[in-house]
Amino acid sequence: MTKKQKKVLFRIILSAVLMAALYFVPVTGYARFGLYLIPYLIIGGDILKKAVAGIVHGEVFDENFLMAVATAGAMLLGLYHESRGVEGEFSEGVAVMLFYQIGELFQAVAVGKSRKNIAALMDIRPDYANLEGEDGQLVRVDPEDVEPGSLIVVRPGERIPIDGVVVQGVSTLDTSALTGESVPGQAGEGQEVVSGCVNLTGVLKIRTTKEFGESTVSRILDLVENSSMKKARTENFITKFARYYTPAVCFGALALAVCPPVAGLILGRTSDWTVWVIRALTFLVISCPCALVISIPLSFFGGIGGASSRGILVKGSNYLEALAKTKYVVFDKTGTLTKGVFQVTDVHPSEGFQNGLGEQEAKRLLLEYAACAESYSTHPISRSLLEAWGREIGPERVTDAEEISGHGVCALVDRVKVAAGNEKLMKKIGLECPEVPENGTVVHVAVDGGYAGYILISDVIKEQSGEAVRRLKAAGVAKTVMLTGDSSRVAEHVAQTLGIDQVKSGLLPGDKVEAVEELLAEKGAGETLVFVGDGINDAPVLSRADIGVAMGALGSDAAIEAADVVLMDDNPEKLVLAVRISKKCMRIVYENIVFALAVKALCLVLGAVGLANMWAAVFADVGVMMLAVLNAVRCLRVKSLG
């Protein structure tokens, strides 16, 4: 509890004790009013002051005003009774104020506590860095003061403060703070390491490559902190609702106080106007929208916090809300559903190419040509060719290399014209190529203007992909789609294995945006289309989809930037978890809205007809708020997929 909260607690206890004591004090008349005024002012003084200040500043109709009018009204009514010689009721006003304060205190403490819990969950901020000076001495400094290119030392048990490259040492790293998975990673000389990981076993010397502010850990913290600034539609609805609801109830109360007695007068019946005033005051007590205003943002905050503890970063409550309505999931194939690790599985030199070489030699030569031609490309397929070739390729051997997006590569290898790529490339250079019956990516190779054969490369499907697709379906996803630049045969094979509904294959990077736009036009209003990619080359698609999810984004700035939801590791099942978290969160949000409004409506009706008095009203108000807050805190707890 903060100092302020302790003070309030003291005031609550003091006025409660005073009130209890007054119950036994045998004083009557105006003196009783005077005595009850003491606990009333102790507990409600600040509220009265705020209410007056609010009116002065033109901020009428806030909760302070409501409570002030309701309780002051009750006290004055007691005084009126007293003046008529009837014993007045003063305890009610004091009690309402007392309960209101208890409720406020509870809310402040509960919210403050869960705020801290969530913050602690997301606290991966390193406190210091061990900077190595020129004389080899270690100095403990603030990570903010470390320049890029400095040498820092991270001992076992310490958190890596800044992104960098290991220059000395071998160790295992605990990445769970970032990914939510406790699978340790390895780090050795020359390897890049990201901040936020905990060094487990050995001492690492790291040359920093970024400033602290640009490092992974800072970016993630920034993102999570900003996430609650992007408000969900439900949140905005509540804000607007509160803006109209409170004045509406106030006018309702006024009407309740004035209309029935006036109507009674007109009809010639004398009615006790104090009855209606009390009912109107009861109205005011019920009218505070606190339960909603506090519990809805708390639910979203809890949901985002819970998700981030599992390595799922949601950039705003609005995305969490949209995620719960996921109906279409569009996957990029490579790197998302498959590992994106390509391996050469077969080499097929054409008969013409084998002429006079023998099969083994022809295979070797075909692979060499292909690997050389692709040696400048960073495409995963090129890498796998280079890996399969496995020898150094001197840069002087390859000239005039040209990469044709979505087709392949043309280059001069040892002054011989080589083209390596898909069917489209072969057609483009005017060559016929055979149909290849196998599943995998086929790289056709043309040497010196003649067809030379093909190389088969297969990508490996991730173990969790099938389960992820199945679980998404179970979670209410209507359609799963896979986009890929690969040929339809490979794509169909993967889709069938995983149970994907629709495949769009042979797409150039630009076509993916169009494909997503087609799907967007197809889906109904209020349904969400999610695109999942690995964040490489798909930034336009990520931003075009309702929700762009970047996967395996650990350390990839571009992906973190473009996506709305970031999965820190590359497990597609995390998407299922994200959808589940969002659904749970939205369920809790709606539970709170319905529950709070239903109880308030009931109390308003009961209060209007005189069945609920002010005691019931304040219990309803404070009780609903407490329950709503407790319910909201549930958002924080995330069940594992099981």
Partner 1 sequence: MKQTYRIEVDCANCALKMEDAAKKVEGVLDATVSFMTQKMKVEFAQDADAGKVMETVRKACKKVESDCEVYID
Which has the closest alpha carbon to 379: 438, 427, 422?
A: 422
CB nearer partner 1, residue 122 or residue 565: 122
Q: What's the closest the beta carbon of residue 302 comes to partner 1, in angstroms?
A: 9
Sequence-distant contacts of 108-115: CB under 8 A, at least 24 apart: 108/5, 109/1, 109/5, 110/626, 110/629, 110/630, 110/633, 111/294, 111/298, 111/629, 112/2, 112/5, 114/298, 114/302, 114/632, 114/633, 114/636, 115/301
Q: Which residues bind partner 1 (CB under 8 A)?
A: 4, 50, 53-54, 57, 59, 62-63, 104, 107-108, 111, 115, 118-119, 225-226, 228-229, 231, 239, 242, 289-290, 293-294, 297-298, 301
Q: What share of the chain is helix, strand, coil (3-state, %, to 5)?
A: 55, 20, 30
Which has the closest alpha carbon to 454: 402, 548, 381, 530?
A: 381
Q: What's the closest the beta carbon of residue 535 comes to partner 1, in angstroms?
A: 24
Q: What's the closest the beta carbon of residue 641 comes to partner 1, in angstroms?
A: 27
CB nearer partner 1, residue 295 or residue 384: 295
CA–CA separation, 395 and 592 (whole Å)? 66
| Catalytic pick among 174, 222, 272, 332 | 332
Cβ neighbours of residue 592 closer than 8 Å, sequence gap 6 or more: 291, 292, 295, 296, 299, 628, 631, 632
Which has the closest alpha carbon to 213: 267, 275, 142?
A: 142
Q: What's the closest the beta carbon of residue 62 comes to partner 1, in angstroms?
A: 7
CB nearer partner 1, residue 304 or residue 452: 304
Local structure of 487: helix, strand or coil: coil
Full 3-state SS string of 323-370: HCCEEEEEEEHHHHHEEEEEEEEEEEECHHHHCCCCHHHHHHHHHHHH
Running DSSP on this structure, what letter comes out for residue 159? B
Per DSSP, helices labelled H in 25-175 are 30-56, 63-83, 91-121
The overall longest dimension of the chain from CA atoms, in Å, is 125
Q: Which two tokens stand for residue 569?
A: 């590791």
Q: What is the β-pairing status of strands 479-483 and 450-461? A: unpaired
Q: What's the closest the beta carbon of residue 566 comes to partner 1, in angstroms?
A: 18
User: For residue 391, is it left (φ>0), alpha (ψ between -120 and 50) or beta?
Assistant: beta
CA–CA separation, 624 and 435 (whole Å)? 69
CA–CA separation, 451 and 114 (whole Å)? 67
* CB of 419 closer than 8 Å to CB of 408: yes
CB nearer partner 1, residue 495 or residue 638: 638
Task: Give catalytic status of residue 459 as yes or no.
Answer: no
Q: What's the closest the beta carbon of residue 8 comes to partner 1, in angstroms?
A: 10
CB nearer partner 1, residue 164 or residue 289: 289
Q: What's the closest the beta carbon of residue 605 comes to partner 1, in angstroms?
A: 25
CB nearer partner 1, residue 287 or residue 382: 287
Q: Which two tokens stand for residue 362?
A: 């022809």
CB nearer partner 1, residue 221 or residue 520: 221
- Phi and psi dihedrals of 526, rounded to 5? 80, 5
Q: Which two tokens stand for residue 373?
A: 């031609």
Q: What's the closest the beta carbon of residue 306 comes to partner 1, in angstroms?
A: 13
CB nearer partner 1, residue 261 or residue 302: 302
CB nearer partner 1, residue 11 or residue 444: 11
Q: What's the closest the beta carbon of residue 628 comes to partner 1, in angstroms?
A: 11
- Catalytic positions, written as ranges: 332
